[in-house]
């Protein structure tokens, strides 16, 4: 394990800090994690049934309703002292790049700017693109000018605009359709069996490649390619500090602080904030 004094001194001196977060970051805001054995979302529901394009294709309303159910807890959540401590860290010429796997928007709500959302955001919608049908189709798809999806045109409004689309939100009720082309809409999150947006992943890698120190907070590091980001920093010889009540595969090579993000972060970051 990285010696405590080395890690803390590196954090104090750092001009550019990458903060990589997972579901444990928001646990004390009341949002369940995914893999905690008793309370995790995936302890209760098989992700293949609710968080894959195949599941949406088979039963869009069920997948939509599940996301509405999850969003109920997320909508009530407020940033916790850990989120606020990270936002407050970006002072005095110090740059902080927040890279999160979370889809809850709580880093932004706490005041962090330029957050890289690797897995999207629950409160944005996008058209459902049926990749299998698109690959099988003989013709190139027609792109809808309103939602940028592969146009379906079965419920088309010729006067619809992008503003009409931007107003639509995740909410109880039937799965909404693009007001322009009628395509089914879905939350703008990354499901299993889907690729990350390459531009978003590039932004995350660039931030990791430029940092002097990386903080890894509240992630089991089970999902690629996000999970490789802390190792990318380690390979460059950058000190990594981990905050998590449980050990992970990273713990042996990081300064591992065992505990809750909302408790450890304010204390840890206050000690360096003024420098
Ligand atoms: P996980 O649920 O896999 O891991 C949560 C981690 O947070 C565990 O290591 C816990 O020990 C830790 N933890 C729990 N409470 C904590 C606290 N109060 N403070 C700090 N840490 C705490 O969540 P992720 O690693 O974020 O993907 O999961 C990665 C991805 O898997 C998610 O983004 C999601 C999921 O499938 C998508 O939605 C695409």
Please check whether residue 48 is in contact with residue 66, taking contact to mean a CB–CB distance below 8 angstroms: no
User: Do 118 and 89 reside in the same domain of the chain?
Assistant: yes
Residue at 92 is within a domain: yes
Q: What residues contact 149, with CB distance under 8 A and at least 6 apart?
A: 126, 127, 128, 129, 143, 178, 181, 183
Q: How many domains, in total, are found in the chain?
A: 2
Q: Rounded to the nearest 5°, which phi and psi values hold at 101?
A: -90, -5
Whole-structure pTM value: 0.94
CATH assignment at residue 58: 3.40.50.1220
Domain C-terminal end among 183, 209, 227:
183
pLDDT by position in tens, the chain (length 275): 677 777 788 899 999 999 999 999 999 999 999 998 888 999 889 999 999 999 999 999 999 999 999 999 999 999 999 999 999 999 888 999 999 999 999 999 999 999 999 999 999 999 999 887 777 888 888 899 999 998 877 767 889 999 999 999 999 999 999 999 999 999 999 999 999 999 999 999 999 999 999 999 999 999 999 999 999 999 999 999 999 999 999 999 999 999 999 999 999 888 776 54
Residues 24 and 157 in one domain: no
76 falls within a domain: yes
Q: Which numbered atom of ligand 1 lies nearest the CA of 41?
A: 2
CA of 163 to the centre of ligand 1 (A): 34
Ligand 1 atom with the smallest distance to the CA of 120 is 39
Is there a catalytic annotation at residue 119? Answer: yes
CA–centroid distance, residue 34 to ligand 1 (Å): 6
Whether residues 22 and 106 fall in one domain: yes
Let me know if residue 170 belongs to a domain.
yes
Q: Is residue 115 part of a domain?
A: yes
Which of 78, 63, 67, 66 is closest to 29 using CA atoms? 78
Cα–Cα dist 81/216, whole Å? 16
Distance (angstroms) between ligand 1 centre and the Cα of 21 equals: 8
Instruction: Look at residue 188 and tell me if it is in a domain.
Output: no
* Residues 211, 227 within the same domain: yes
Looking at the fold, whether 172 and 252 belong to one and the same domain comes out as no
Atom nearest to 190 CA in ligand 1: 39
Probe residue for ligand 1, chosen from 219, 262, 265, 267 as the CB with the greatest number of ligand atoms within 8 Å: 219
Q: Kindly state the tokens that stand for 64.
A: 């939509």
Q: Could you tell me the residue range of the domain that residue 221 belongs to?
A: 3-123+194-272
């Amino acid at each position: 394990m990285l010696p405590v004094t080395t890690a803390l001194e590196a954090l104090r001196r750092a001009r550019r800090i990458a903060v990589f977060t997972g579901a444990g970051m928001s646990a004390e805001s009341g949002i369940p994690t995914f893999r905690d054995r008793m309370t995790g979302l995936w302890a209760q529901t098989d992700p293949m049934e609710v968080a894959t394009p195949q599941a949406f294709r088979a039963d869009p309303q069920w997948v939509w309703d599940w996301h509405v159910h999850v969003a109920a807890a997320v909508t009530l959540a407020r940033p916790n002292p850990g989120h606020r401590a990270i936002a407050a860290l970006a002072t005095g010429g110090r740059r902080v790049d927040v890279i999160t796997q979370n889809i809850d928007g709580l880093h932004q709500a706490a005041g962090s700017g330029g957050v890289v959302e690797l897995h999207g955001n629950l409160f944005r919608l996008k058209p459902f693109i049926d990749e299998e049908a698109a690959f099988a189709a003989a013709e190139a798809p027609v792109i809808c000018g309103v939602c940028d999806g592969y146009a379906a045109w079965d419920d088309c409004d010729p006067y619809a605009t992008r503003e009409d689309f931007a107003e639509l939100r995740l909410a109880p009720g039937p799965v909404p359709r693009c007001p322009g082309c009628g395509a089914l809409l879905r939350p703008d999150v990354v499901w299993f069996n889907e690729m990350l947006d390459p531009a978003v992943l590039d932004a995350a890698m660039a931030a990791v490649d430029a940092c002097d120190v990386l903080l890894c907070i509240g992630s089991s590091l089970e999902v690629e390619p996000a999970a490789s980001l802390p190792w990318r920093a380690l390979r460059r010889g950058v000190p990594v500090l981990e905050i998590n009540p449980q050990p992970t595969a990273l713990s042996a090579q990081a300064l591992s602080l065992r505990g809750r993000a909302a408790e450890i972060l304010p204390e840890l970051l206050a000690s360096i904030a003024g420098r």
